Structure 1
Amino acid sequence: MTDGERARALLGGPVTFLGSGASCVAYSDGKRVVRLARTGQAARFEVDAAIRRALMQEGVPTPEPLSTGTLPDGRPFGVDTLARGDDSGPSDEGWRDLGRALAALHALPHGGFGLLHDRSGAFVGVAPTPAEGLCSRLQDAWPFGRAELEDHPLVGTAPALAPLLAPRRDDLENVVHGPTALCHTDLHGGQVRWREGRLTALLDFGDASIGPPAWDVASLAFFHGWDSARTTGLPCGREAALFGLLLALHHARRSVTLGRPARMRAAVTFARGCLQRL
C-alpha cells in the first residue's frame, strides 16, 4: 500500500498530495490533512496536537487536531483540519498577530529542556540541562556540538568568521541559561498561513523545544529578517542575536548533512548580520 492509499483509507475518500518535509508527508481531502511519518523518522504528532489544543484555548489560530494514531507498519500519523490562507503575505499587523501567538506559546507551563517528550499532558523537555536540551534540537551548534570552531563547516565556508566567533564562546554558552519558554523553533514560511495580511494559522509544533524565548526571535529573523522579527513586538536584543549565531552554526551543519548549499549561504549571511548586532 502506498502512502497515498493509506491517507485515503484514513480520510475515507480521495486525497491530494500536499507536500513533504524531513519527517513526514501530507495529504488532504480539501477539509482535513493527514500527516504520515516517514519510515525511520521520529514525527512528534502527540505533543504537536497537545500544544495546539492548549493554544486554541488561548485564542491562537491553529489547525484543530482531530486524531492521532499508529499505522500497521508502526509509523505514527496525525489528522487535522486544513489550515487555509491566501497569497497576501503578512502585513505589519499580521506580524504582530504572530508575536501575540508566540507570546501565548511561550507562556504555556513547561519543564525540563530541549525537545519535548512526545505525549499529551505536561510539556516536558527530554533533557536535564540547558546545554543538553540545545543539543537535542540543534545539530553541532558550536560550542555545544562535537566539532571545534576551526573544523566547523560555517568557518570552513567563511574563514573570516572564526576570529569573530571565537571571543563569543562564553556568551554563547551562557545564552542558553536563564528563563525558559516553550518555543516553536522552526518558524519558516511554511509554518504560517495569512489571509488579507493577518495570521490565520500557526502550524507544526513537532520540533517545539524548551529553551530561551530568544530562540523563536532568532528563528523568525533567520527566515524572515530582523525587521519582521522586530515588528512582532518580541524582544530583538542581544540574546536574540547570540542565539542567532547558534542557529547559523546549526543551519551550516544541516546544509552539509542534507546537501543543501543554499542553506549554507543563508547561514553565513545570517551569522554576519548577528555579529553586527552585538
Structure 2
Amino acid sequence: MLVLEPMNITILGSGNVATHLAKAFLSVGHHIGQVYSRDLGHAQTLASLIGAQATASVTKLHADADLYLLAVTDDAIAHLVDELPHTLRGMVVHCSGATDLDYLARFPRRGVIYPPQSLQKDIYSELADIPFAVEGHPKSAEDELLAMARKFAPTSFRCNSRQRLALHIAAVFANNFTNSLFQISYELLQAEGLPFDLLHPIMQETVQKALQHEPRTIQTGPALRGDKLTIEKHLQFISKKSNWVKIYQQLTEEIRSKKLN
C-alpha cells in the first residue's frame, strides 16, 4: 500500500467541486495553501472556510505546492492551463469528466479526479459513497492520486480518458436529463393544480428498481405496450409545447427500440 505524506494543495476554482474537494482533502490531513478564482470575492469565500490564502492572479500562485487542483468549468480548463506558470513543480490535476488527460500534457506529473455526482457547494454530499474516476501520468502519479482519493472516497478507481467520457455521458443521461424530465412532470401537474409529490412514490420505485436490475428489463408504459391511442392523446395534450412533443416522441422510439422479445 502506498503511504502518503500530507500534501500542500492549491485549489484553482471556487465552485461546487472545488468546495467539496477542498474540504475532503483537508479532512484527511492535507493542507490547502491557496485558493485561486478570477473573482477574488469567490476565492476569499472558499479560502475563509479552509484557512487558505485567496488570490485572483495566476502569477501569484506558489510554485512549490505538491498538487494543483483545477476545479473549473470544462471550457475554462484549456485557457487556465495556458496561463499557468511553467515554474509549477507539483502535480497538476483537473476534475472534468469530458476533458482528456492530454490537456495537461505540458506538465510532467498530471492527473484527473472526476466525481460522477451532482455536487452543490451548499448541500452536503457523502463523498465516501462516490466512486471517483482517477487517471494519471506517469503511473506513479496515478498511484499517488488514487491513494489520495481513496482516503475520503474508498471506491475510487482507475479510469482512462475514454472510459471517463462514457461515464460522464452516462451520468448526464442518468442525472441531468432525468432531472429535466422531472421538471416537465412538475410543470404538467402544476398547470392542472396537482402537487408534484403525487409522483414521489413512482419516482422512488423507478430508481430503486433501476438500482437492482438492468433498466430495460423493468420498463413499463404505453410506449412499451404499443398503446397508440394513448400516445396520441398524450401528444395532443402537450401539443403547445413543441420541445416536450419532440422529447416524448424520441423517448417513445427509444423505448420501443429496446423492447425485449
Using CA pairs below 8 Å that are at least 6 residues apart, which structure has the higher relative contact order?
1
The two structures share one fold, judged by TM-score above 0.5:
no
TM range (shorter): under 0.3
Q: So what's the TM-score if we normalise by structure 1? A: 0.25
Computing the radius of gyration from Cα coordinates, the structure with the larger value is: 2
Q: Relative to total residues, which structure has the larger strand share, 1 or 2?
A: 1
Q: So what's the TM-score if we normalise by structure 2? A: 0.26
